[in-house]
A and B are shown apart, each in its own frame.
Chain A
Amino acid sequence: MDVGEVLTRVHHEEWARVVATLTRRFGDLDIAEEAAAEAFAVAVERWPADSVPPNPGGWLTTTAGNKALDRLRRESKRDDKHRQAHMLSEQTAGFREPPSAVADERLRLVFTCAHPALAMEARVALTLRMVGGLTVPEIARAFLVRETTMAQRITRAKAKVTAARIPYRVPDAEDLPARVDGVLAVLYLVFNEGYLASSADTNPIRADLTGEAVRLTRLVRELMPEDGEVVGLLALMLLIEARRSARVSAHGELVTLDQQDRGAWDRGLIAEGHALVRERLTSTEAPGRYQVLAAINAVHTDAADARDTDWSQVAALYDQLVRLDPSPVVALNRAIAIAELDGPQVALALVDELAAPLADYHAFHATRADLLRRLGRSDDAREAYDRAIHLTGNAAEMAYLTRRRTELAGA
């Protein structure tokens, strides 16, 4: 393996650990992040010439620790006010917890970066930077904001962690489920932005983002293997990721599930996703939304042909999902399954009830357009396609909807 590949792999595997170890040691996200970045920069420079050290993670942690000490020595000459706050010092409450519940320092880092006191966009950015090791320019590109804007967002978030004393710890058992939800929401958001990019200026599918979300969710699962929703989210992502290459045609057009070339699906990811779903089926615990969504995707990926899809099972799972998450978006997706079971007329009635809350949601109009098309109501369908095309930002979806619109009778 060449040194470049080793560096990439070590960066993926060790970045979060190095940042977490340094955050714990020095009590400051800023110092930890900068020192980790410096240590990796030294590795990039030295390893190709000196060969890779036998314990790359240890080497990086030691190097980063020395860089942090250098910086602190330089700064100790100045009156550094916020360091006096000891926000993450050993005296704070977090370190009295039993070591078993908080064995891995990376997990503390994940929970700190995804703290609910931070705005969602700051949580996403901080998680990608501190846990994922993406650079600020990479994160800025991913979310289509200027580099300076993203740098400010991350700096501001780190400053709030310090000033407000967001604790560096895994929440107590009683608060854990609520806080895991927040972590999973961050990861799902990253995944979804990759899966259906919201801007026409990027690739319609951002494999960098879906890949990163899967990688971080794997990390969280490794750290919390007993949490059913973590398993559920990982299974969900894998089953969607498995279909990625079949999802956009050679002409850059979105390919809907029923039209996809199932031979192009990644069988390895599907097998892994199915195994995770089965693992959860043996649990006596009631499944949460990610587990149900994963089960729905397992049914879809089980069918050798779209026509073999077990729609009654999909509809039953959506009924279960509606009880867990009675949002209009879930109701819309349930209606799509109902259309396959009970026909477009029944589904259209369900969809029309969602007109008020989903008036500005592209998928609502796209779904409605498709149902109207199937009912032969071309004029109404055309209007709905227009609305959906106007609202979507995704180039592949726009191309798909535009073609469907031109294919309408009487066009």
Chain B
Amino acid sequence: MHYLLTVIGDTTNEVDDSEPGAVDAFNEQLKTDGRWVFGGGLTSPDHATVTDNRGSAPVFSDGPFVESKEYLAGFWVVEADDLDAALELSAGASKACNRKIEVRPFDGIA
């Protein structure tokens, strides 16, 4: 079972205030434990572009899809047996990157 651990960024505190090396150590642990699928940090939502090609021609617009105080700052995809296992990983993730984490199960994965 795959879970998405979303790192929730906060526009009122954008500096990376995590313990130096904590995220790397967390990643290594995920890999050692066979939990790692994929992960990465994202640049600022200021650098986002929204594409809409539902009409006759694609429209590109500057900025994220939703303006809010909180934004998607990065994510992990992890392998976990159930929600309790995923929540345990998310607690480690939150500690490592000093951010809130949203946990969501994948509805199938390719």
Contact = CB atoms under 8 A, between A and B. Distances in A.
Interface of A: 85, 87, 92-94, 115, 117, 163-167, 171, 175
A86 to B, nearest CB: 10
A94 B83 CA distance: 11
A164 B85 contact: no
B30 interface: no
A344 B33 CA distance: 61
B107 A165 contact: no
Contacts of A93: 81-82, 85
- Chain A facing B: main interface SS: loop
A286 to B, nearest CB: 26
- A87, A93, A165, A166, most chain B CB atoms within 10 A: A165
Given A117-B83, A117-B87, A171-B84, 7 more contacts: A92-B82, A93-B81, A117-B103, A163-B107, A164-B104, A165-B83, A167-B82
Interface in B54-110: 81-85, 87, 103-105, 107
Contacts of A115: 83
- Chain B facing A: main interface SS: mixed
A93 B80 CA distance: 10
B81 A166 contact: no
A115 B87 CA distance: 12
Contacts of B1: 85, 165
- B83, B87, B105, B107, most chain A CB atoms within 10 A: B83
Contacts of B84: 166-167, 171, 175
Contacts of B82: 87, 92-94, 165-167
- B85, B103, B105, most chain A CB atoms within 10 A: B105
A164 B81 contact: no
Give the 10 A-B residue pairs with the shortest CB-CB distance, closest first.
Answer: A167-B82, A93-B81, A165-B82, A164-B83, A166-B83, A164-B105, A165-B83, A167-B84, A165-B1, A117-B83
Given A163-B105, A163-B107, A165-B1, A92 B83 contact: no
A113 B74 CA distance: 31
13 contacts: A93-B82, A93-B85, A94-B82, A117-B83, A117-B103, A163-B107, A164-B83, A165-B1, A165-B81, A165-B82, A166-B83, A167-B81, A167-B82
Nearest to A179: B84
Contacts, number: 32
A87 B80 CA distance: 12
Interface residues of B, number: 11
Interface of B: 1, 81-85, 87, 103-105, 107
A163 B103 CA distance: 12
A92 B104 CA distance: 18
A164 B104 CA distance: 7
A92 B105 contact: no
A3 B84 CA distance: 43
A266 B99 CA distance: 52
A316 to B, nearest CB: 37
Nearest to A85: B1
A93 B85 CA distance: 10
Nearest to B81: A93
Contacts of A117: 83, 87, 103
A26 B87 CA distance: 25
A166 B1 CA distance: 12
A171 B83 CA distance: 12
B26 to A, nearest CB: 20
Nearest to A168: B82
Contacts of B85: 93
Contacts of B107: 163
Contacts of B105: 163-165
A175 B103 CA distance: 19
Contacts of A167: 81-84
Contacts of B87: 117
A240 B53 CA distance: 64
A117 B91 CA distance: 13
A166 B104 CA distance: 12
- B81, B84, B103, B104, most chain A CB atoms within 10 A: B84
Contacts of B81: 92-93, 165, 167
Nearest to B1: A165
B48 to A, nearest CB: 28
Contacts of B103: 117, 164
B102 to A, nearest CB: 12
A163 B62 CA distance: 34
A117 B103 CA distance: 10
A166 B103 CA distance: 12
A208 B75 CA distance: 46
A287 B21 CA distance: 40
